[in-house]
Structure 1
Amino acid sequence: MHPKIRLVAVVLALATALPVAGANAAEIKLMCPAPMRTTITALVEQFEHKSPHKVTIVHTPSKTIIERITAGESFDVSILTAEATDALVKQGKIARRADYARSSIGLGVRAGSPKPDVSSLEGVKRTLLAVKSFARNEGAESGKHMLAVFDRLGIADEMKAKTKAMPVGTGYVAELVVRGEADMAAQQMPELKAVAGIDASPLPKELQQIIVFSAGLSAKPGDPKAAQELVEFLTSAEAAPVLKSKGLDPP
């Protein structure tokens, strides 16, 4: 074949192929709460690198996600706790739940400071009593759990006097530690690890609360195949290294 004819053939082949590739690409709307922000962002980058699809992440508190989905807002995939996802399945808003990560609650201090003693209940009790100022979420799962921990350790009154409660959805609690407004913070491990300059340690098993996060496939996704591909990627073995690096465990 003459070189010029061969070149024309290649150009025509590419021109024909490009619209097909574009036709296979979809826009996926993913709703994600704060604890999963850094993890989902990293995983979506990997997904988009290997897929023609583009993902728009809506970062907002879990309560807001639930309210917006319940009100009928369109979406393709949601990231919520397993319990919240099940509730939306019962409402007919989510077609299927796929667990993707297990999150634990921990204590965070400024990097370089003595790490909290989380080896036992007594170690945690001594650590909490010794700290001058403490911070937790107000209204979030981790914040509620820490109140239960204080009660169990018999130090609720002592901790109340020196604890700052950050309203849910206003940032990472460990940011107060970095700014010098608190000496220690409690939050979910991926949230603590998301803050530069923080060393995080998970609570011991006896005081721990494991929160399972799930990917929910919308009952009415814009592109069912694309949404399903994203859910499958988030729950695949390929996602495990990212989960580990962010302080999470696979389900």
Structure 2
Amino acid sequence: MSAQRPVKLFSVLAIRAAFDRLLPLWQQRCPQVELQVEWAPTTRIEQWIADGRRADAVIVTTEAMDRLVEQAVVEAGSRRELVDSTIGVATLPDAAQPDLSSAAALKQSLLQARSVGYSLGGASGIWFKTVLERLDITQAVNARASTIDEGFTARLLLEGKADLAVQQISELLTVPGIKIAGPLPDELQKVLSFPGALFRNAGRPAEAAALLAFLRSDAAREVFQACGLTPRA
């Protein structure tokens, strides 16, 4: 192991399941490069950065990355498009499956649920609030909702706190013992994209750039797809 400090990455939770599977392959290719990853929703990562915290690289939503480029926090030329992610709904495996075929069907499924679980701080949860507003059921759903500040909403299913969990499909799949009911209807879907980039004055820019390149490799693309993500061209 190198005596140098680890390469530090701030990353969204959406790619965590895939990243955990990719880490052994990365270690085989670059055994001398130790990684230190801090996982959080984009909103939390942006707050870290606003507070002055830095790493070598960062993976956040496209909108957040655009802001970081504009603020010259990251090197614009280092930006690499990684994956797209869709939002979906999960249940316990033996539960009745909700109808997600249309906006109207989703509305009825949400209203019929004992409790809907979602994340207040994650990008999917922020969008789900918009979905509830569009369906005009914010008050009705939130009166019985089970929310978390951040983390994986499918855990609420296993804890008996919700019978529907809404989050990015890649995040739902992080929790074993649940079933993906399907994506949100097209008319209410939001595809979230996640690029990575290097911070300005990164301590280990070459190694961080190699990590982002690895996350665009054919091997990484296969794992991302298996984990419910769509690799970017």
* TM-score, normalised by the number of residues in structure 2: 0.88
Q: Which residue number corresponds to residue 141 of structure 1?
A: 123
* Equivalent residue in structure 2 for 1:197, among 162, 177, 199: 177
Q: Which residue number corresponds to residue 187 of structure 1?
A: 167
**d(CA) in 2 for partners of 1:129 and 1:38?**
30
Letter in 2 for 1:40: F
Equivalent residues of 1:80, 1:216 under 8 A apart: no
How far off is 1:214 after superposition?
Answer: 1.0
**d(CA) in 2 for partners of 1:219 and 1:42?**
28
Q: Which residue number corresponds to residue 167 of structure 1?
A: 149
Question: What does residue range 1-251 of structure 1 map to in structure 2 within 5 Å?
Answer: 27-52=6-31, 53-95=33-75, 96-168=78-150, 171-200=151-180, 201-251=182-232
Please, which moves more after superposition, 115-124 or 203-212? Answer: 115-124
Unaligned 5+ runs, structure 1:
1-20
Q: Which residue number corresponds to residue 13 of structure 1?
A: none
1:73–1:141 distance in 2 versus 1, CA, 3 Å: closer
How far off is 1:158 after superposition?
Answer: 2.5
Unaligned 5+ runs, structure 2:
none
Equivalent residues of 1:103, 1:189 under 8 A apart: yes
Please, which moves more after superposition, 237-246 or 56-65? Answer: 56-65
**d(CA) in 1 for partners of 2:53 and 2:133?**
39
How far off is 1:41 after superposition?
Answer: 2.4
**d(CA) in 2 for partners of 1:217 and 1:70?**
16
Task: Name the SS of the counterpart of 1:94 in structure 2.
Answer: coil
User: Deviation string for 1:28-73 (max 9, x for gaps)?
Assistant: 1111232222222222332121123221112234333223334443
Quick check: which has more Rg, 1 or 2?
1
Letter in 1 for 2:202: P
**d(CA) in 2 for partners of 1:179 and 1:40?**
25
Superposition CA RMSD, Å: 2.1
* TM-score, normalised by the number of residues in structure 1: 0.82
Equivalent residues of 1:76, 1:221 under 8 A apart: yes
